[in-house]
Chain A
Amino acid sequence: MISNVIFVIILIATILLFYRNVRIIARNIKLGRDVEIKNNKAKRWKLMFKVAIGQSKMVTRPITGILHILIYVGFIIVNIEMLEIVIDGITGTHRLFAFFGPVYNILVSSFEFFAVGVVIACIIFLIRRNIIRVKRFWNEEMTLWPRSDANIILITEIFLMSALFTMNASDRILQLRGLEHFVNVGTFPLSGLLIPFFNGLPDNTMIFLERFGWWFHIVGVFAFLNYIPYSKHFHVFLSFPNVYYSKLRPKGEIAIMPSVIKEVKLMLNESAMEPVEEENAEELTFGAQKVKDLTWKNLMDAYSCTECGRCTSSCPANITGKRLSPRKVIMDTRDRLEIVGKNLDKKGKEYDDGKSLFDLITPEELWACTTCNACTEECPVNIDHLSIIIDMRRYLVMEQAVAPAQLNNMFTNIENNGAPWQFSREDRMLWAEDLNMVVK
């Protein structure tokens, strides 16, 4: 009875804490500039099924893609068992769903295969990260915390699955010994292999082991759930909405700045057509200096990133040793947003720490981008790195006028001669002179 009460208390605490943390993240995302993304619902659902649920972009790198799917499917499937565990915990029943008979056994047995898949994939991932040291896990932005975060996630998942096996193996032994409470649900194909190791132990120890496995697994899952909002692992939730809300237009299109349209029309002397309505127009920054200048979708991108680094490993600038790393741009955006959120909670709305995105992302990084979209093409959860880079460039150019000198020359040339180079407009047809063609 006491254990039921303890379980319910832990369960409620878990839910409340998780709810609180998710609300903070949602609030932080909403700090971003408002953009309406509502069109093409059918297309968006399709995209989400393909890219997020179907993991279509993961398998472009087949080995890691398939291993990731193993963990992904494994976790979803094994979590079906969570339902039973939670009900058992509340009511004090044991393997409540056992009355399904053989179906139950088949289900629980298949869960074991998925669980083993998860363990194998996690071990391979740990080896790739820590022993093989795949380059993208050791880039500059992969400091101690991001590296530890990844390892904590992988090791926790291995522990959680091991607890499941301990629980099943000792449960089966107790079933075979015919102890009351331990319903006979049949053999477990994989944890059954552990039976010889435990079999000599007395009933009490076996019951302890079973209970230990059960509690370790469920409390571990609850703890892990509340670790996720502090971790890159939050992608397990956000990748779905993030893909849903991702850009449907061709990658080549850069979002227009409506605030500039008005200014440009004034400059081109079309002011007559539009009466001035500047009075109540809110003060707008051209481009992005602070997280609030980015759109909420940019900020959702930041929380959806699981730091896999596929973007950076395909970035031409990064490949050739420049400072730019698209992953870092996303991580920096999230880190800055986290600080802004904490300031908001601790010091109130009026507080301003005087810092901006530029304290983390340098112009050198921004100017190295070729806008080639290799990063956005790679991202398995459709993060748009380029949109942030362009918006920050816009701030540098239009608010601060600090573009590299050669780019300023290019601007001047376009303004004066209508070409990025210093050539006269009058010479535009010289290329077509003295042109002959052979005909038969």
Chain B
Amino acid sequence: MANKIKIKVPVMADLAAKGEKPEYLYWVGCAGAFDDRYKKVARAFVKILNHLNVSYAALGTEESCTGDPARRAGNEMLFQMQALKNIEILNNYEVKKILTTCPHCYNTFKNEYTELGGKYEVIHYTQFLSQFIMNEGRLQIGTSQVSEEKNIFKDKKITFQDPCYLGRANGEYDAPRKVLGTIPSVKIEMKRNKNFALCCGAGGGQMFKEAEKGDKEVFIERIENVFETGADIIATACPYCMVMLTDGLKYKNKEKEIKNYDIAELVVLSLGL
């Protein structure tokens, strides 16, 4: 019997007031909080967290940019200010494990906060989900337990855009593919993939500015790579990639034929959550 329940995302301060401490902090990121399209990804991910009965909370209004775009745009001062402020908050709550949906936040916590006193176990949500699939069998997609009508992607071709900050930056190519692999569908790689994948064009501060003069936008080049595969769905695992590739689809008037979903959304749709 399908039943709808309301999800209330727990907030750190509220839990702390009750003397509770969640196992994981879900770092929503600015895109999850403010980008209309990517909010849906954050929503999808907390659905999965609830589905898996994970003990988690978000920082809510205490969350602030990690400083990644500032640092990559050369503003080390601003980056360190953000970092120190965030670390203070995280350490006050005695946060040990951080879950992120954004690979840029993931990279910053994992690699760039340690030297400033922020030492956490940082897990990208694709890694988190792949752990659940592999070790505990608690996340089951596309198994006999999932009814046939929920195999909605069965005949769809899915291609995956490696986020630079998950892939090249941190060497994680398998986890997102592992999760995608459990979704009944046809997986198809772009010509440039994994460590040779082409960037969507948004990293390093590009997201927030016009591109320099050139022949074309990077996301157009990449969306053409997607077309070469004949894929019906582009799976992304990064808010920047999602904005850029969705823009590419709009630019090429292919929004009807090809859809851009985040892996978390594909999981939610497959599970019918």
Contacts and interface: CB of A to CB of B under 8 A. Distances in A.
B203 interface: yes
B33 A438 contact: no
Interface string B208-221: 11111111111011
A370 B64 contact: no
Contacts of A373: 164, 168-169
Contact of B71 (A250, A254, A370, A377): A254
A324 B9 contact: no
Given A256-B115, A320-B214, A411-B78, A377 B195 contact: yes
Contacts of A251: 168-170
Interface string A376-398: 11100000000000101111111
Nearest to A425: B61
A339 interface: no
A371 interface: yes
Nearest to B240: A370
B215 A320 contact: yes
Contact of B64 (A256, A257, A418): A418
A407 B208 contact: yes
Given A252-B169, A261-B116, A436-B4, A403 B111 contact: no
For B67, B70, B217, B221, the residue with the greatest tally of chain A CB atoms inside 10 Å of its CB is: B70
Residue of A60, A287, A421 with highest tally of chain B CB at under 10 A:
A421
Nearest to A322: B214
Given A372-B164, A429-B11, A429-B60, A410 B73 contact: yes
Given A254-B112, A411-B75, A370 B199 contact: yes
Contacts of B9: 429, 432, 435
A414 B116 CA distance: 19
Given A261-B80, A373-B164, A437-B50, A432 B74 contact: no
Nearest to A423: B34
Nearest to A422: B34
Interface in A290-335: 314, 316-317, 319-324
B46 interface: yes
A435 B207 CA distance: 28
A235 B149 CA distance: 60
Given A321-B214, A397-B75, A438 B3 contact: yes
Interface in B80-94: 80-82, 84-85
Interface of B: 1-9, 11, 28, 30, 32-35, 39, 42-43, 46-47, 50-51, 58, 60-61, 63-65, 67, 69-78, 80-82, 84-85, 107, 110-112, 115-116, 164-165, 168-171, 195-196, 198-199, 201-218, 220-222, 272-273
5 pairs of A and B residues whose beta carbons are closest in the complex: A252-B169, A321-B215, A393-B74, A418-B64, A371-B204
Interface of A: 60, 249-254, 256-257, 260-261, 263-265, 267-268, 286-287, 314, 316-317, 319-324, 364, 367-374, 376-378, 390, 392-398, 403-404, 406-407, 409-411, 414-415, 418-421, 423, 425-432, 435-440
